[in-house]
A = this chain, B = another copy of it.
Amino acid sequence: MPKIVDHDQRRLELVDATWRIIARLGIEGATMREIAEEAGFANGALKPYFPTKDELLTSAFGHVFNRTNQRIATVTDGLSGVAALRAFCSEVLPLDEERVNEARIVIPFWQKALNDPDMAALHSRSMRLWHATIAGHAAAARAAGEIATPVGDAAVADHLLNMMLGAQIVAALSPDEHFSRDLAGQLDNYLRLLAA
């Protein structure tokens, strides 16, 4: 019998290898050769799956985004209002090494997206989705009397989204700075502001 190759599985292996290599070596050190080696592929065997490094990077970003969303779905399951808001944001914040590694992929992705309309569109779609979800949780929190501020739900989502984007940069670039030591505490402090 011929060997059966699961192409989706192989793509996923490549994407996984890509983000490990980018996290370790940076986008410039992540050559197609390094990625092939990490994934256990022969050099050149990547091309049918991902003709260019940019396509691999876009897939790696999409993969990180999907995986984050799966974690969010798990941790927010059955929660609403401020509890859901806290769980959502805690899952996006780079609070452990895996998520700091993800931040190290997201920053090169942003840099590429500056001059790549498809990547920029993927970024925008992702952010729109998160903004809507956060604003929804904020509305539920307000309905439950957990949010007292007259500052609106969309404005709360603006704040949280920008803070979570900024936190990726702090965590990836200056992990030892005092203002990055307690990102979970920053989130708590912000939620306290909303309750007042």
Q: A residues bordering B, Cβ < 8 Å?
A: 25-29, 104, 107-108, 110-111, 113-115, 120, 123-124, 127-128, 131, 149-152, 154-155, 157-159, 161-167, 169-170, 172-174, 176-179, 185-186, 189-190, 192-194, 196
- Could you say which residues of chain B place their CB within 8 Å of the CB of A110? 107, 111, 169, 172-173
Q: Is the CB of B192 within 8 A of A26?
A: no
- Could you say which residues of chain B place their CB within 8 Å of the CB of A115? 25-26, 28-29
Q: Is the CB of B163 within 8 A of A179?
A: no
- Could you say which residues of chain B place their CB within 8 Å of the CB of A128? 177
**A114-B172, A124-B177, A157-B179 known, 19 other contacts, Cβ within 8 Å:** A25-B115, A29-B115, A107-B107, A120-B173, A127-B170, A127-B174, A127-B177, A127-B179, A150-B192, A151-B193, A154-B178, A158-B179, A158-B186, A159-B189, A162-B162, A162-B165, A162-B170, A165-B166, A165-B169
| Secondary structure dominating the interface of A | helix
A176 and B121 CA atoms in complex are apart in Å by 11
